[in-house]
Amino acid sequence: MSFLYLLEDIRNPVLDFIFSIVTLCGEETVFMAIGMIVFWCVNKQKGYYLLSVGFVGTVINQFLKITFRIPRPWVKDPSFTIVESAREAASGYSFPSGHTQTSVGLFGGLALKFKNRALRIASIALCVLVPLSRMYLGVHTPADVGVSLVIALVLIFALSPIFDKAEKSPRVMYYLLFSLTGVMLAYLCFMSFWQFPEEVMHVDNVHNYISAVKNAYTLTGCMLGFLVVYTVDLKWLKFDTKAVWWVQIIKIVGGLALVLAVKELMRAPLEAILPANTWARMLRYFLMVIMAGSIWPVTFKYFAKIGGKKE
């Protein structure tokens, strides 16, 4: 808390604005968008890698949150203030930091997998700035961001050689995807059957439990989608990520629009027939992955023909 008070003393409108923008790089939407862009336009295996690092990191993050149940800094110390614009996105327990986990996993993975110097510098800078923004805004302590940073770094370095090997062996890739799906299912079972203490179900805290349950079903749906997408591409689709620049833009804009459409337009019909925060959510995210990885890429070969010579 003493370090957070130090940052509180140097706050000003300019820094508030800058760090409020920087912290958005740790949002789920940024992570998903960049992961899909890499998958569509750069390298499918690196796309699987980046998204898997994020999914596994989120499971670990959510497990630690619901296990330790550490309150936010301003709850622990009512005299401490935060940047109000950050309050809405700072729901749930404090430890560890989800934004740090997501950003370091994503941008650290980019820095590890890509040799472009400018990209590496920008990625490493964001690996530092996003965790710092969480503390500057007052929504996380150094312990929150430090543990998430370490977990993310361990994941990006531990999973990298496995995905490299899986790129040359479908059998290894299947073992890997099934193992990661098993991790998601284990977390789902934990959230479904573990007897949490009464404090977790208290009216003031139950939203944290609901958030953890939603994430369990979301991540399981995504990983099940990965299995389908990989199988479809391996056996039938085999889409190419390379294309001329304007075709790449079409792929990105059209793909993101379709995935967003599935996310929003399928919500109401699925929740009309299935429980909203559980099975409907799992199926919705499963369909999003299928759209992103199997349905939209069907169009890529036609775009490539229109675009002419590939880069």
Q: Is the pLDDT of residue 309 over 50?
A: no
DSSP state of 137: T
Q: Is the pLDDT of residue 310 over 80?
A: no
pLDDT at 307: 61
Backbone dihedral angles phi then psi of residue 25, each to the nearest 5 degrees: -70, -10
Query: CB 45: neighbour CB atoms within 10 A?
Result: 18
pLDDT at 274: 95
Question: Collapsing DSSP states into helix, strand and coil, what is residue 95?
Answer: coil
pLDDT digits (tens, 9 = 90+) for 211-263: 899 999 999 999 999 999 999 999 999 999 998 999 999 999 999 999 999 99
Domain boundaries, the chain: 2-168
HSE of 203, CA atoms in CB hemisphere, 13 A: 0
pLDDT digits (tens, 9 = 90+) for 17-70: 999 999 999 999 999 999 999 999 999 999 999 999 999 999 999 999 999 999
pLDDT at 65: 93
Q: Is the pLDDT of residue 88 over 90?
A: no
Share of the chain above pLDDT 70, in %: 98
pLDDT at 42: 95
Mean pLDDT score of the chain = 93
pLDDT at 52: 95
Share of the chain above pLDDT 90, in %: 84
pLDDT at 59: 95
pTM of the entire structure? Answer: 0.93
Question: Collapsing DSSP states into helix, strand and coil, what is residue 217?
Answer: helix
